[in-house]
Amino acid sequence: MTENCVTPHRGKVLTMDTMNPNIKRVEYAVRGPIVQRAVELERELREGAKKPFSEVIKANIGDAHAMGQKPITFLRQVLALCSYPDLLNEDHFPDDAKLRARRILQACGGGSIGAYSMSQGLECVRQDVARYIERRDGGIRSDPSNIYLSTGASDAIVTMLKLLVSGEGSTRTGVMISIPQYPLYSAALAELGAVQINYYLNEEQCWSLDVSELRQALTAARKHCRPRALCIINPGNPTGQVQSKKCIEDVIRFAAEERLFLMADEVYQDNIYAEGCKFHSFKKVLFEMGPEFSNTVELASFHSTSKCYMGECGFRGGYMEVINLDPAVKAQLLKLVSVRLCPPVPGQALMDLVVNPPQEGEPSHPQFIKERTAVLSSLAERARLVEQLLNSIPGISCNPVQGAMYSFPRINIPERAIKEAQAMGQAPDMFYCLRLLEETGICLVPGSGFGQKDGTYHFRMTILPPTEKLEVLLSKLKEFHQRFTREYS
């Protein structure tokens, strides 16, 4: 206590100087400054501000339901029954939905999805996930003890990176990620203090992956870090490519030769649109290559309830399957997931319905197939529409959207605009996207937030808006691009 009972000035304990320095390096473009400005513009419109547009169209993120996609009836029926079991006594829910709900509730403590589950997830759900993987991969065995349910795929990806990252200086762990990449990876590596090793996808060859590029990136990285993991996104985000079986085989051989841990992000595995393209899981290809690879290559693969035909982002359901993990490390993995108690149980229930949907002969099967087919067919139609209309705009070129939920077109930005952006301390495609937002209300994410080759500029746009809104969006984009180009030419 000081004279006159005045408390001496005390500075903040947590400041920009004292906080974790790794956090300051974290960036996440998908919800970055442009999205924050879009939220401000929505508020201004609600308050009556005059803008050159009547609504903000958020085409920046793969949030299907926010874009108007309707939930799959069966999924929501079972979740409703799980959330409010008294509905099990009602007549207007189909018997197969009630059966699924009772099975899930019986696996929960006290018969309630409000109870904690085991940290690895409900056993019955992990069993269903294992059976799903076996069906998907043509009978290759999946062990439920290798399945870890998670808070979306993102949580499992970060958990695995935590196990992989160690060392200091030249012994720090290096993790290979594709460029362009989904910013979760760069953000997680920055937070963990790991070394990001970029390998570039080939835009001229429909964003294909070449092992020679992997080898070149790895050789350069070994001079300053210890590469230990290789991350693959298939189908690609933000690039929308689907990898061929041969490409996956080449990647597995590379990982085996270089003793790299493989991480396969396969959350878009049902989102395949282009003729001749097919999803091949890394696990299936690994086992088809024989014991030389299937007994040695360490693999973690990831799936989610947030994408595909479900689009149930908010429930945060996901799983990870690990292959060839050292038993002692597996024990550490269980310890690590135990710290967070368990993934959200409603998300676990939803994951169970994704891997164990209505079967032929069950009452909900016809409607489920009809709704699922309608969603995927509509997405395929919009993928073609986006590619076609973007390529009709002079100065914009777009590869085929083979899968996933995004296009990643290249944009030509005039030199004067590039110089003006640099003078403002902005990346040129950030400058372009901010102008687009302010003048049209269209919210896209600049390619610089995902990584791109020097001298090239892109944006990521989701294909999720309804067809009529997509056509409006692309028409406005065309008008803006032509106006922008004239202004700076």
**What does each of the 489 residues of the chain score in pLDDT, given as a tens digit?**
455 555 566 778 777 776 677 776 766 655 568 888 888 888 988 888 888 888 888 888 888 898 889 999 999 999 999 999 999 998 889 999 999 999 999 999 999 999 999 888 999 999 999 999 999 999 999 999 999 999 989 999 999 999 999 888 889 999 999 999 888 898 889 889 899 999 999 999 999 999 999 999 999 999 999 999 999 999 999 999 999 999 999 999 999 999 999 999 999 999 999 989 999 999 999 999 999 999 999 999 999 999 999 889 989 999 999 999 999 999 988 988 888 889 999 999 999 999 999 999 999 999 999 999 999 999 999 999 999 999 999 999 999 999 999 999 999 999 999 999 999 988 999 999 999 999 999 999 999 888 889 899 999 999 998 898 889 899 999 999 999 999 988
Cα 323 to Cα 146: distance, rounded to the nearest angstrom: 7
- The CATH architecture of the domain made up of 100-355 is 3-Layer(aba) Sandwich (3.40)
Give the pTM.
0.89
Cα 82 to Cα 297: distance, rounded to the nearest angstrom: 39
pLDDT tens profile 263-300? 999 999 999 999 899 999 999 999 999 999 999 999 99
What are the sequence ranges of the domains in the chain? Answer: 21-68+369-488, 100-355
pLDDT of residue 90: 87
DSSP-derived secondary structure letter, 202: B
pLDDT of residue 17: 78
CA-CA-CA-CA torsion sign (277, 282, 284, 286): positive
Task: Decide if 160 contacts 320 (C-beta within 8 A).
Answer: yes
Same topology between domain 21-68+369-488 and domain 100-355 = no
The domain 21-68+369-488: what is its CATH number? 3.90.1150.10
pLDDT of residue 53: 87
pLDDT of residue 39: 87
pLDDT tens profile 442-474? 999 999 888 889 899 999 999 998 898 889 899
Secondary structure in 3-state letters for 278-322: CCCCHHHHHHHCCHHHHCCCCEEEEEECCCCCCCCHHHCEEEEEE
